[in-house]
Amino acid sequence: MRSDPSERNSRDMMALIRTLFENSGGLASTSLDAVGFNRGPGSYTGSRLAASVVQGIAYVKQCPVIEFNTLELLYFSGLQSLVQSGQSPISGAEVLVAVESKVGEYFWTGFIVGQSTHAPQITVGDADALLRSIQGANSVVIMNASMQSHPNLTGIADVIWAEPRVELAFDVAAQRLNQGAVVDALSVEPLYGQDNIGWRTLAQQRAQR
């Protein structure tokens, strides 16, 4: 189920949760081993909402939380596209992954094929900074498909355009649960990508466009 940006995320989220558990008698009657979620970066309201809902469920059910982030979910999707096209990168290859921010900037990070994606070091910058990172790295490049229309990013060769797909993370979720790579309910936090995003005035946001 996808949330319509023009609608209320909270309504969509609760409808999805009800649908997930309706065949097992509802959330109250369901036993959970863990709860997994995408903590961001992305929609700041959406990230806060997801963290709050997951925190509440995990606290009530007394189960751990498996955290993912948008960049690694996009990475999983991009790798699948490469495999399906017969161009699977070899173990140890570098992959640069980028998604858009909501204030005219971008988030990006680097992953190594075959290594953990759990806690990437995220860089924040404008299109010029992202292009410099791409040009300075000998990496496969995976970008969010919604960025194809960004005029400042045209002309980049050999980009894998993909969308984050949480269903591709199920095996990784099981591994993290088995390895204890989880957090408790009270430690759940959204990932904004930059700490001061919520404090920008409208004038500051317009100046960034």
Same domain, 182 and 151: no
CA 140/CA 102 separation, integer angstroms: 24
What b/e readout covers 160-191, taking b as 16+ CB neighbours within 10 angstroms? bebebeeebbeebbeebbeeebbeebeebebb
Here the CATH number for the domain that contains residue 128 is 3.30.420
Tokens standing for residue 31: 């036993």
Same domain, 63 and 134: no
Give 205's pLDDT tier (boundaries 50, 70, 90): very low
Average pLDDT over residues 72-83: 95
162, 178, 198 - which closes a domain: 162
For the entire predicted model, the pTM comes to 0.84
Same domain, 81 and 157: yes
Tokens standing for residue 105: 């900037």
Query: For position 32, what pLDDT does the model report?
Result: 93
Here the CATH number for the domain that contains residue 172 is 3.30.420.40
Burial of 104 (0-12, 13-18, 19+ CB in 10 A): middle
Would you say residue 199 has pLDDT above 70?
no
Same domain, 33 and 108: no
Looking up tokens 């806060």 gives 48
**H helix count then E strand count, the chain:** 6, 7
Same domain, 107 and 137: yes
pLDDT in tens, 92-123: 999 999 999 866 799 999 999 999 998 889 99
* Residue span of the structural domain in which 155 resides: 71-162
pLDDT in tens, 8-24: 566 778 888 888 888 78
Least confident stretch, 61-75, 134-148, 188-202: 188-202
Same domain, 14 and 82: no
